[in-house]
Chains A and B, each alone.
Chain A
Amino acid sequence: MSAEINTSGSSNSSSNTYPITYTFRIFRGNDKTGEFVNYKVPIDEGMVVLDAILSIQENQDTELAVRWNCKSGRCGSCGMEINGMPKLACMTRLSDFDPATPITLTPMKTFPVIKDLVSDVSWNYEVNKTIQPFSPDENSDFTFQQEDIERSREFRKCIECFLCQDVCHVIREHDKKDSFAGPRFFVRSAALHFHPEDTADRKEWLKEGQGGIGHCNITRCCTDVCPEHISITDNAIIPQKEYVVDNYYSIFGWIKKQFNK
């Protein structure tokens, strides 16, 4: 393939001659055993990490396991750790990396590994079931304004890639999977909480139930990795922490607030 001259539009203009060979150091194995295997892949302009993985699958190793669907950042299937950073493989452009240094690909570490780059995220689906679903007032005529939905809109952008769950140290390091829901599900409960027609109160779930929002000590790692740029910590977690504090035991809530001032 010859070099393409990059003109109008493409911001990644470069005078390099494509294809450029990159090396990928990929975890191959399961939850019991595994090793890193190096693959060399010719990379064309504009290619993303997922392109490289699919190229390996098609041309070098048909057994390599990766989970993916839309390849445009909409479905949230291809979350993995790229040089240790939780990212979507389909939205990570290779032009952001130095071809001289191997790129390390590993599955999301917080969940059990199924095979290679695929981890078992089924726990998340179980947690989701513990949240009281949307509960409208049956007599409402559902008339509300655009400004009434702006707040929940941000949370409804979530594509369930679980990168926030992967990076959250309450799950990752402290393994509180039995008593903590994680950022993704604080985003979901916030989406419901700020829905103009929802009438349910989820403070029990947030405080005592699977939510366990008190475990979160606001390190903002979840916000940093969100590919949809949802302000998880500031807009979903902190307001719900405050909601719990204000509504659960107001006198303690008051004292805590004084300390926080």
Chain B
Amino acid sequence: MALQIYEHDVIIVGAGGAGLSAAISTAEQGMDVGIVCKSLLGKAHTVMAEGGIAASLGNVAPDDDWRSHFLDTMKGGWGLNDPKMAEIHAIESPERVLELERWGAVFDRTADGKISQRNFGGHRYTRLAHVGDRTGLELIRTLQDKAVSLDVQVYMEYTITEILKNSSGKKVAGAFGYWRITGLPVLFRAKKIILATGGSGMAYRINSNSWEYTGDGPAMALRAGAELVDMAFVQFHPTGMVWPRSVKGTLVTEGVRGEGGVLKNSDGERFMFNYIPDAYVGSIADTEEEANRWAAGDSSVRPPPELLTRDVVARAILNEVSEGRGSEHEGVYLDIASQRSTEFILQKLPAMYHQFKELAGIDITKESMEVAPTCHYMMGGIRIDPETQETCVSGLYASGEAAGGLHGANRLGGNSLSDLLVFGNRAGIHAGELAQKMKNFPKITEEDLEASMDYLDFPFKNKSSGEQPFRLRDELQTIMEQYVGIKRDEKGLEKGIKELQKLRSRTSLLFATGSRSYNAGWQTCFDLINLIDVSLSIAHSALERKESRGAHSRIDFPTPSDSLGKIKFIISLSSGKFDISSASISTPRKELLKMIKEDQTKQKLGGTK
């Protein structure tokens, strides 16, 4: 079958916020860039982001600065964050937001005509630059227009199945895959490759992701010799839709709570007051009266417990449901109707209004929403250098959700869009600079290419008595839900790993039928293989982490462990086997360490603002 070959100095796999940011900063250095999208341009998951971009612009809260943003990020991540990444992220995100505005993004405004900001969980100051509840759409459209204006070559609807290296196996040399329109094989030769493939939410049945989010980047990086880090930490967003069943898992933005929405159980109680963790006692309102004053705009009081971090809120909701105080469809109630005027809700949350009206027949200006946790985001991902975003494989970079390190054990809302902008930009700069110094494209051997071509064909060679990809995916989701979900224990995780390994060996029998053009079954074979490798990485890391921290909850180890709080678990793959090792987390530099300690003391004394 004819192989189509393209050459670009830098190839970026993934065209969401991180990929497009990387494409722009590479192209601005005059490099020849190609960006490969699994779907059409502008449809990546970034478009779904609702609430906003965290950046300490200080437009609404003048006392805010990068230091506070750094502290909040580290605290939200339970200290497991890479401190250098957290620092870079906090320092650079305001520049990136202002840059986005200069590229044409239209943010909501303050009374004095600056970019407006809103509250979000775990951010002590009003920090999220936003566009109603359609921030992601504005971000991706702005970035895609900018990239197109810089002549970035866009390859739409291509699936990458493998990262290829040069003959010595030391340098990255190309991305291999196929064009989904024709099903024909394609090779993108490149000097540097940036993986910006996003998350792996499809490993779980109830998720807020689309079909595309199958861990392609982490799985391909792993197979190419790179490492994954922090994989135990899977973010379940506390508020996904629960009814009707067909939209179960669809995201309900944290912005609803940021704009004053409250969580209630079936007794009508604002239950979050019962779930304030020690680390936040003193910095969160402990009476409804104080919370209401805060919602009314009194910045001298502390924010309501509905704005605790996502890990805390998700567990609280599960607990309410399991103790019999859940809503009709096993969620809880999210109520903004009783808190804000119709006009306010329509202006601040138009997409939420639209979504509930059309999909559930609910008018959120009059009625409560029913919500429950949904798999939303991977804190873990490809292990990278905090400053350059390069992996341990020379020439291979990662940024955005595909990469790990910034968020530690739990990501704060709003820190994902800023992550994409800051580290996408950095990956592009570093990859571009180094690509510029390379004269030739690394060579790929004929044998490697043939093996890649064979891999593409394998599902068509299997008999239809083999494994049907959608059925196998269903089995995977059942295993993950049952053994590697929000609450975990040793027995379950061990069982889960065994089941996942069985599933992994069955993937060689996956079959596809019919033509290669736009074939959903065939596509799902490759998606599934990646998903299983990522799922195994999650399960292995979760088994090893014998503590509860952030998004990772072990029933058999219900509290955080001091010693594990200094350790990261790292997954690598050697001859088909998953290896797990540990590395200590680098200590923040002196000045930052001092800040963290002072902040903890201040909070114990009754307030961190």
Residues on A facing B (Cβ under 8 Å): 7-12, 30, 44-48, 51, 57-59, 62-77, 91, 93, 114-116, 118, 120-122, 125, 128-129, 133-134, 136, 142-146, 148-149, 152-153, 156-157, 159-160, 192, 195, 197-198
Contact = CB atoms under 8 A, between A and B. Distances in A.
A195 B113 contact: no
Nearest to A122: B156
B12 to A, nearest CB: 17
Given A10-B361, A62-B520, A195-B104, A69 B109 contact: no
A53 B571 CA distance: 37
6 contacts: A9-B370, A62-B512, A75-B48, A133-B146, A136-B104, A153-B106
B104 A65 contact: no
A145 B104 contact: no
A157 B134 contact: yes
Given A64-B520, A134-B145, A146-B109, 15 more contacts: A9-B243, A46-B360, A58-B470, A62-B468, A62-B469, A65-B519, A74-B48, A74-B137, A77-B43, A115-B517, A125-B154, A125-B156, A142-B101, A146-B108, A148-B109
Nearest to A74: B48
A7 B328 contact: yes
B521 to A, nearest CB: 3
Contacts of A120: 181
A47 B244 contact: yes
Contacts of A149: 106, 108-109
B5 to A, nearest CB: 21
Contacts of B519: 62-63, 65
Interface string B249-266: 011000000000000000
Contact of B521 (A63, A72, A115): A63
Given A125-B41, A125-B154, A156-B141, A63 B246 contact: no
Q: Which of B42, B244, B360, B368 has the most CB of A within 10 A?
A: B244
Contact of B40 (A47, A63, A121, A153): A121
Contacts of B43: 69-70, 75-77
A63 B514 contact: yes
Contact of A156 (B106, B359, B513, B517): B106
B351 A74 contact: yes
Given A45-B245, A46-B360, A74-B351, A143 B114 contact: yes
Interface of B: 39-45, 47-48, 101-104, 106, 108-109, 112-114, 116, 131-132, 134, 136-138, 141, 145-146, 148-149, 154, 156, 181, 210-212, 243-247, 250-251, 328, 351, 354-355, 358-362, 367-368, 370, 468-471, 474, 512-515, 517-522, 524
B212 A133 contact: no
Contact of B247 (A7, A62, A71, A125): A71
B243 A46 contact: yes
Given A62-B469, A72-B250, A10 B518 contact: no
A144 B244 contact: no
Nearest to B329: A4
Given A144-B113, A149-B109, A91 B359 contact: yes
Contacts of A156: 106, 131, 137-138, 141
A144 B115 CA distance: 9
B404 to A, nearest CB: 24
Given A63-B521, A125-B41, A142-B101, A114 B181 contact: yes
Contacts of B101: 142
B92 to A, nearest CB: 19
Contacts of A58: 470-471, 474
Contacts of A197: 104
B361 A11 contact: yes
B367 A9 contact: yes
A201 B360 CA distance: 43
Contact of A142 (B102, B116, B367, B524): B102
A73 B358 contact: yes
A74 B208 CA distance: 12
Nearest to A77: B43
Contacts of A198: 104
A1 B44 CA distance: 34
B33 to A, nearest CB: 16
A67 B154 CA distance: 18
Given A9-B360, A11-B361, A143 B370 contact: no
Given A62-B513, A63-B514, A145-B113, A46 B245 contact: yes
A77 B141 CA distance: 15
A44 B42 contact: no
A240 to B, nearest CB: 18
Contacts of B351: 74
Contacts of A67: 39-40
Contacts of B247: 46, 71-72
Contacts of A69: 39, 43-45, 47, 210-212
B269 to A, nearest CB: 18
Given A46-B245, A48-B246, A195-B106, A9 B113 contact: no
Contacts of A114: 181, 517-518
B245 to A, nearest CB: 6
Given A9-B361, A12-B361, A30 B517 contact: yes
Contact of B362 (A10, A64, A122): A10
Contact of A133 (B137, B145, B156): B145
B470 A57 contact: yes
B209 to A, nearest CB: 9
A65 B520 contact: yes
A148 B109 CA distance: 9
A166 B470 CA distance: 32
A73 B355 contact: yes
A46 B242 CA distance: 11
B148 A129 contact: yes
> Which 6 A-B residue pairings sit nearest by Cβ, starting from the closest?
A46-B244, A62-B521, A11-B361, A134-B104, A65-B518, A63-B514
Nearest to A72: B250
A44 B39 contact: no
A46 B243 CA distance: 8
Contact of A143 (B102, B113, B517): B113
A76 B138 CA distance: 14
A18 to B, nearest CB: 10
Nearest to B134: A157
Nearest to A153: B106
A114 B518 CA distance: 8
Q: Which of A30, A75, A128, A145 has the most CB of B within 10 A?
A: A75
A214 B468 CA distance: 52
A122 B39 CA distance: 12
Nearest to B251: A72
Nearest to A88: B358
Q: Which of A11, A51, A69, A157 has the most CB of B within 10 A?
A: A69
A74 B181 CA distance: 23
A197 B106 CA distance: 10
A8 B328 contact: yes
A111 to B, nearest CB: 12
A70 B47 contact: yes
B42 A160 contact: yes
Nearest to A9: B362
A160 B113 CA distance: 29
Contact of A145 (B39, B109, B138, B360): B109
Given A62-B513, A62-B520, A67-B40, A73 B354 contact: yes
A72 B360 contact: no
A76 B156 CA distance: 15
A69 B344 CA distance: 30
Q: Which of A12, A62, A133 has the most CB of B within 10 A?
A: A62
Contacts of B370: 9
B358 A91 contact: yes
Q: Which of B101, B211, B361 has the most CB of A within 10 A?
A: B361
